[in-house]
C-alpha cells in the first residue's frame, strides 16, 4: 500500500505532467513568454492543490441503493485477548525512508551549491560598466545573475559586448527570475522521482531566457544576428553555478529559433482558452467522487444484495439459521444485526474453526442476528467464544441517536455531537430529517476512523447514515 504522503505526491506529479503536456503541445512555441511564465507557475500551484480539491461536486451525484437492509449494524473491533503484534518497520515505512533519503540527498546538494555560490560572491569584486553595477569574478565563467546581483568576468568580453550582456541579466534581476529557478530546484528535490519535476524546471528556465532575449532585442534595438552571435560565442565559456541560469543556457538552439520566429497573433490566445477548457474537463472527469456519491445501477446493486443474502450464513443468537427464518423475525424483537461481508472479518476471527463446522466461506457473508431475548443466552456466548467474535459496544449516545431516528423522533445538532449526518447519501442538517413511520430502511453509525476514510475530514467526529425505503 502506498503511504498517504507518497500518494499525494504521485497525484500532484501526474497532474503536473498533464499540465506540462498542454504547455509543450500548445503554448511553448508562442511568443507570449510572460503568459507562459504565469502558466508554468500556476501549473505548479494547481498540481499541488489538485489532490485536495473536491471537484466531485461539479459532477451529478447519484445516491446508491443500499446493498443490504440492516436495522442496527455495529462494526467489529479487535478482541482484547489478541496477542501483541510486533511493531517492526513496515513496507510503507521502508518506502518512505527510501524516498526521504533521496529528498535529503538533493536538499543537501542544494545547500552545497548555495555555499559554492556564496564563496564565489565573497571572492568577487564590485564593478561597473555602461552605468550598470555587477560583480567581477575570476575564471572563464559564463555571465549569470542571482537575486539582485550580476556576475561576470569582464576580461572575457569585448567592451562593446558588455552592455548587451548586462541588459540581459538586468531583465532577470528586474523580474525576479531567481525565485522561479529556486522554486524549481526545491520542487525537483522534493519530487526527485518524478520526470515532471525535472521537466518543469527545464521549461521554466528556458522560458525565462525567452523573456530576457525578447527584452534585449526590444530595448537595445540590436540586430538579432549580432545578438545571436554573442550567444554562440559565450556558449564556449564554463557554465555558472548550478542554482542559476547562465547567459548561454543549454537550449541555445531553441532560443535562436524563438528569436527568429514571427510574433504570435492574438488568435493564438485561444490556445490558452482551449488548454484551460481541456484541463478543466479532464480534472472534473477524473475527480474521485466520495464513496457515497458513486453512481451505481440500481438493478446491479439489488442483484448483488440479493446474491449475498441468498448465499450468506445466517445465525440467530449464535445458532445456525436460514434466510427464510431470519426474515420471519419481527424487527422490533431484534437487538442488533451484524453483517460481515466477504473474507474481511475482524482480527482474530477463528476462520479455521468456522470452516470446519460450516464449510468453505469463499466470499460469502455472515449475518449474525441478536434478539433482545437472546442477547445474554449461553448459545450466543458459546458462539462468540468459539469463533473469537467480539463486537464494539455501542455507546449510549449512538443508541440514543439510532432509536430517535428509527422512532421518527426529532434530533438536534447536540445529539449528533459533531458527527456528519447523511440522508440517502446526501449531507443534511438534523432539522432536514423528516420521515414517517415505516420510511426508515437502515441506520448506520460509523466511528471516526471509518467516517474519515469514507468522507474525509468532514467525518472526523463520526457519521450517521440514514437510508429510507
422 confidence band (pLDDT: 50, 70, 90): confident
Helices 195-220 and 4-22, packing angle to 10 deg: 40
Crossing angle of helices 33-49 and 4-22, rounded to 10°: 160
Radius of gyration of the chain (CA): 33
CB 79 within 8 A of CB 390: yes
- Least reliable range by pLDDT among 105-109, 143-147, 172-176, 327-331: 327-331
CA dihedral 51, 56, 59, 63 (to 10 degrees): 150
- Output phi, psi for 74, to 5 deg: -120, 155
Parallel, antiparallel or unpaired: strands 420-423 and 426-427: antiparallel
Percent of all residues in the chain with a pLDDT value above 70, rounded to a whole number: 79
Q: 216 near 258, Cβ under 8 Å? A: no
Helix 195-220 / helix 252-260 crossing angle, nearest 10 deg:
50
Confidence of residue 70 (pLDDT cuts 50, 70, 90): very low
Amino acid 288: pLDDT: 54
Q: How far apart are CA 445 and CA 436, in angstroms?
A: 20
The position carrying cell 474481511 is 344
In Å, how far are 191, 308, 335 from 442, measured between CA atoms?
A: 46, 17, 14
- 228: CB partners within 8 A, 6+ apart: 256, 259
pLDDT for position 87: 52
pLDDT-derived band at 301, boundaries 50, 70, 90: very low
| Distance, CA of 436 to CA of 21 (rounded, Å) | 55
Q: Are 395 and 77 in contact (CB under 8 A)?
A: no
Q: pTM of the full predicted structure?
A: 0.58
Average pLDDT over residues 236-255: 71
- Per residue in 110-165, pLDDT (tens digit) is 999 999 999 999 999 999 987 889 999 988 788 899 999 999 999 888 888 888 99
pLDDT at 291 over 90: no
Q: Name the more confident of 128 and 295.
A: 128
Of 30-44, 75-89, 110-124, 234-248, the one with minimum mean pLDDT is: 75-89
Would you mind telling me the total number of residues written for the chain in this entry? 469
Amino acid at each position: 500500500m502506498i503511504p498517504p504522503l507518497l500518494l499525494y505526491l504521485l497525484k500532484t506529479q501526474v497532474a503536473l505532467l498533464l499540465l506540462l503536456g498542454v504547455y509543450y503541445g500548445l503554448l511553448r512555441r508562442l511568443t507570449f513568454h510572460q503568459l507562459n511564465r504565469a502558466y508554468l507557475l500556476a501549473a505548479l500551484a494547481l498540481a499541488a492543490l489538485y489532490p485536495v480539491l473536491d471537484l466531485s461536486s461539479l459532477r451529478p451525484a447519484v445516491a446508491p441503493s443500499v446493498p443490504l437492509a440492516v436495522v442496527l449494524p455495529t462494526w467489529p473491533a479487535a478482541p482484547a485477548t489478541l496477542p501483541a503484534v510486533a511493531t517492526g518497520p513496515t513496507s510503507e515505512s521502508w518506502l518512505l525512508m527510501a524516498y526521504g533519503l533521496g529528498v535529503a540527498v538533493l536538499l543537501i546538494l542544494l545547500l552545497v551549491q548555495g555555499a559554492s555560490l556564496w564563496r564565489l560572491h565573497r571572492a568577487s569584486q564590485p564593478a561597473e560598466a555602461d552605468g550598470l553595477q555587477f560583480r567581477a569574478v575570476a575564471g572563464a565563467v559564463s555571465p549569470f545573475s542571482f537575486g539582485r546581483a550580476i556576475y561576470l568576468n569582464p576580461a572575457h568580453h569585448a567592451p562593446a559586448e558588455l552592455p548587451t550582456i548586462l541588459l540581459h541579466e538586468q531583465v532577470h534581476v528586474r523580474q525576479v527570475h531567481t525565485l522561479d529557478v529556486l522554486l524549481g530546484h526545491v520542487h525537483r528535490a522534493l519530487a526527485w522521482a518524478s520526470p515532471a519535476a525535472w521537466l518543469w524546471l527545464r521549461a521554466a528556465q528556458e522560458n525565462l531566457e525567452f523573456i530576457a532575449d525578447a527584452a534585449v532585442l526590444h530595448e537595445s534595438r540590436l540586430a538579432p544576428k549580432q545578438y545571436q552571435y554573442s550567444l554562440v560565442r559565450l556558449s564556449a565559456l564554463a557554465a555558472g553555478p548550478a542554482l542559476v541560469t547562465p547567459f548561454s543556457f543549454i537550449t541555445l538552439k531553441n532560443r535562436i529559433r524563438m528569436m527568429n520566429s514571427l510574433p504570435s497573433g492574438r488568435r493564438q490566445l485561444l490556445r490558452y482558452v482551449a488548454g484551460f477548457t481541456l484541463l478543466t474537463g479532464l480534472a472534473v472527469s477524473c475527480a474521485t467522487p466520495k464513496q457515497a456519491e458513486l453512481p451505481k445501477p440500481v438493478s446491479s446493486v439489488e442483484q448483488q444484495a440479493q446474491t449475498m443474502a441468498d448465499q450468506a450464513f445466517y445465525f440467530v443468537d449464535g445458532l445456525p439459521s436460514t434466510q427464510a427464518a431470519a426474515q420471519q423475525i419481527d424487527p422490533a424483537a431484534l437487538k442488533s444485526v451484524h453483517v460481515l461481508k466477504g473474507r474481511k472479518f475482524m482480527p482474530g476471527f477463528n476462520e479455521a474453526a468456522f470452516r470446519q463446522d460450516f464449510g468453505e466461506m469463499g466470499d460469502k457473508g455472515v449475518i449474525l442476528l441478536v434478539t433482545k431475548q437472546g442477547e445474554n443466552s449461553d448459545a450466543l456466548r458459546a458462539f462468540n467464544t468459539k469463533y473469537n467474535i467480539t463486537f464494539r459496544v455501542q455507546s449510549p449516545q449512538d443508541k440514543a441517536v439510532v432509536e430517535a431516528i428509527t422512532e421518527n423522533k426529532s434530533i438536534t445538532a447536540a445529539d449528533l455531537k459533531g458527527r456528519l449526518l447523511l440522508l440517502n447519501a446526501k449531507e443534511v442538517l438534523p432539522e432536514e430529517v423528516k420521515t414517517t413511520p415505516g420510511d426508515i430502511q437502515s441506520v448506520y453509525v460509523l466511528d471516526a476512523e471509518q467516517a474519515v476514510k469514507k468522507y474525509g475530514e468532514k467525518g472526523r467526529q463520526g457519521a450517521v447514515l440514514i437510508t429510507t425505503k
